[in-house]
Amino acid sequence: MKVILTGATGYVGEGVLLECLDNPEIDKVLSVSRRPCGHFHPKLEEYIVHDFMALRPGDEKLAGYDAVFFCAGTTSVGKREEEYKIISHDIPLHFAEVVGPKEKMTFVYVSGAGNYNHTDQMWVRVKKSTEDALVRMPFKGAYNFRPAIMWRYKGQKNIQKMQYFFWFLYPLVKFFDYWNTMSEVGRAMIAVTRSGYPCHEIEVRDISKLAK
């Protein structure tokens, strides 16, 4: 299969990218990003886009793929809702509008783990709104991944300092089933593209199940 991937210069996107490049089910990866990802591979092609909102329907570079793995995003910490909404709602929905043909594509959106019943939380309102809008679009399948703690992929370069702190907690979060490896996240995305899944919200345990 051929996939479009965003966020390859970030932690999640780079991990998924490396899994795709190593996975025999993937023939081609188009990395769409504001800057080069720093990886080179026969399967990998890059499309440098300085403003995602400037993309338009009919862009031939975004047509003919089996799936979009939308891994680009940011933390809500220190951001106003208006600023966070542009990154976590407006940009992914605009990107979903310009790719196609949708009836032949699967769209995977990396959301985040959390209690989605508490809609008074700013980030939950924004993420849930994005998730719901994607599911309503006429894709072959739309899936909202909600990972929590993720163990790095071998050879990753884009590792935030915060991740080093979390690594000390892995034995604990693994015990409580609140973690995945980056390889599992990538394999789960490939699995839903290939075979679908009964629900649109892919939680930590669903990722583990799909990755097997």
Q: What is the SS3 assignment for 68?
A: strand
100, 56 Cβ separation under 8 angstroms: no
Cis peptide, bond prior to residue 101, ω within 30 of zero: yes
Whole-number percent of the chain with pLDDT over 90: 76
Query: What pLDDT digit, counting tens, does each position of 26-39 carry?
Result: 999 999 999 999 99
104 pLDDT band (50/70/90 cuts)?
very high
pLDDT at 168: 67
pLDDT above 90 (res 87): yes
Q: Comparing 12-21, 106-115, 191-200, which segment has the lowest mean pLDDT?
A: 106-115
**Beta pairing partners, 32:** 6, 47
DSSP secondary structure letter of residue 90: I
Q: State the Cα–Cα distance between residues 94 and 82, nearest whole angstrom.
A: 16
Q: How many C-beta atoms surround the C-beta of residue 97 within 10 A?
A: 13
The pTM of the full predicted model, rounded to 2 decimals, is: 0.92
pLDDT above 80 (res 7): yes
pLDDT above 90 (res 178): no
78 pLDDT band (50/70/90 cuts)?
confident
The pLDDT mean for the chain works out to 92
pLDDT at 185: 98
Domains and CATH numbers, the chain: 2-211 (3.40.50.720)
Q: State the Cα–Cα distance between residues 22 and 29, nearest whole angstrom.
A: 11
Q: Which amino acid is at 179?
A: W
Query: What pLDDT digit, counting tens, does each position of 132-176 carry?
Result: 999 999 999 999 999 988 888 998 988 766 666 666 666 666 666
